Every structure is written in C-alpha cells, then in structure tokens.
Amino acid sequence: MSIIYMLFVTLSLHNICSSMAVTSSSEAVLITVDQSGNGDYKTIQAAINAVASNNSQLVYISIKPGTYREKIIVPVDKPCITLSGIEGSNTTVTWNDGGDIFDSPTLSVMASDFVARYLTIRNEYGMRGKGIALRVSADRAAFYGCRIESYQDSLLDDFGRHYYYNCYIEGATDFICGNAASLFESCQLNSLAKNLGTITAQHRNSPLENTGFTFLGCKITGSDGGTVLGRPWGPFSRVIFAHTYMSNAVSPDGWRDWDDPSKERTVYYGEYKCYGPGADRSKRVGWSRELSRDESAPFVNMTMIGGRSWLRPTPTRFKKHVKKNE
C-alpha cells in the first residue's frame, strides 16, 4: 500500500470519526475476545478483522484476561477501535520478533482514533537487538494504564498526536523513539540498562515540525547512573521533562548528542521543576535547558497534541456485534 494512499484514507476518515465521536461517543459496538471460546472471537486479530473497512462507528473490543501470543495490526482503514483488557497485569499481548523497526512490532496501530486500555504489550526479543513492542503510526491515539515492554526501541512512537496516561514503559536503549507529538502523563519509565542506556530518541527533522515528547508528572526508575534522558535521532529532536521524579538511574550528564556535536546547536532538550537525585542539573550537558515557567507552558498541557478536540470518554452504552455469518 502506497504512502499516498494511506494518507488519503486517513484524511478521508478524519471527519467521519471526529463528527461521530462528538455526537455518539457514549455508545459503541461491543466485541468480546476470550481464549476459552466464551466470547465472539478467540483472538484479538480476529476481532479487529471483523470490523468493517472504512468503519464509522466506535468499536469496543473487550479482551478477557490471558496471554495472547499474537502479532497484531490495526489497519489504516479501521479507525475508532478501542482494545481494552481488565487489568494491564493480567491481559498480555506478546510476540518474539526483531530486526526491522517497522516489521517487528507486537502491536502495530495504523488507524486513527485508536484507544488501548489496561493491556501489557510485550516483545520478547530481548537483548539481541531492536524488538518493538508497540508501533503507533497514526493520528489521535491514546493509551491508558498500559504496560509496554521490550529492551531496544520498545515504543516506536512514529507519527501523529498521542496521549499516554498512567502507563509503564520499559526498555534499555532508545526505548521511546519516533517523531510523534506525544504527551506522557503520570507514566513510569523503567530503564533496564546497566550503563549507556537511553530513554528517548526523538526524530524531529525540522524546526517547522510541531512534534516532540513531553513527560509530565512521570517517574524514572532503574539501575543507578546507567541512563540518559535522550539522544537526537533527528537534528531538531525535542524532549521535555516536567514535574518528573528522576531516580539515581539518570546519569548526571543527562543527555547525549549521539556522537554528533553539530546537533547540540539544534536540539531542544528541557527540564522543568523535576526532582529526585537524578534531577540535579549541576553536571548536565551545557546544551540542555532548565526551562522557565513561560518556556514550559506550551508543553505541559494538551496544546501540542490538541487533545481536547479528540480525546474521548469511555463508552457507557453498548450494542451487540453481529458476526457476518449470523
């Protein structure tokens, strides 16, 4: 499928989903997934496949507890889907694949207006190399109470506007990477690295791109002194940490230039009112910033992701899903 076609489909669906979500966001089609056979489908991918192409309804896929060994894709022509477990600790989607960052993800979200709730999304590839747990290559995606676990490039936050709330994200090397405009609120970032770990690799290529990662009220944990906050995948990489607890896992220098000093003049790496032993800026690299209140203001709310216009409440009314063969 060509990039031009994907963009056309995404833009065509924008008004359908947005107008529908405003008028009937309290009602959704309910599909249940249960490995024991007591739901509509036994696998998550089968439930997604059952959603009509060019979907214009909210679809709520309720996933019963269990470990689902699947490689899952939410295709571009199936927007407005929610995948929801009961608790992130007992509803797990896992796979074991590595190598190419676009082919290896356990869960790939290609459709707009997507929501995930209370799921563990894991790639078991381990320390052998890049193994993405979650790829988000779509606009308007939100994740609540999810666990995203791998070792290298755990979360490919590729493009679009995204919101992560109360999520646990784990890895060692560049474990949050990509060029999305994303707000991470009240999330825990756990580094598995013993040394030379990196939390972010943000890929902003131009000062004209309104992209970047903001971490608001988050918590950083891991082994003492083994991790920096980020390094620039793109020359204009932009990452902000605000009101975030930083444990001793954070290295005193805080940031790296990926062995390219020229990027030190163009990146935007800021910290605002962070605290904890790892938040001491006395030994930070000189090209990172201690932000003022005014400088932090555009990043510590929904402005950059435009979230007030597309984040939607959980449906309160449901209608039965009718299988095609019924």
Tell me which residues are annotated as active site. Answer: 153, 174
CA distance 130 to 136: 16
**CA–CA distances in Å: residue 40 to residues 35, 52, 210, 321, 325:** 10, 15, 41, 8, 12
CA distance 35 to 64: 8
CA distance 115 to 109: 10
CA distance 199 to 149: 13
Of 198, 192, 158, nearest in space to 178 by CA: 158
Distance of CA 152 to the CA centre of its chain: 15
Residue type (1 letter), 279: A
Report the DSSP beta bridge partners of residue 115.
82, 142
CA distance 108 to 79: 13
Report the DSSP beta bridge partners of residue 122.
94, 149
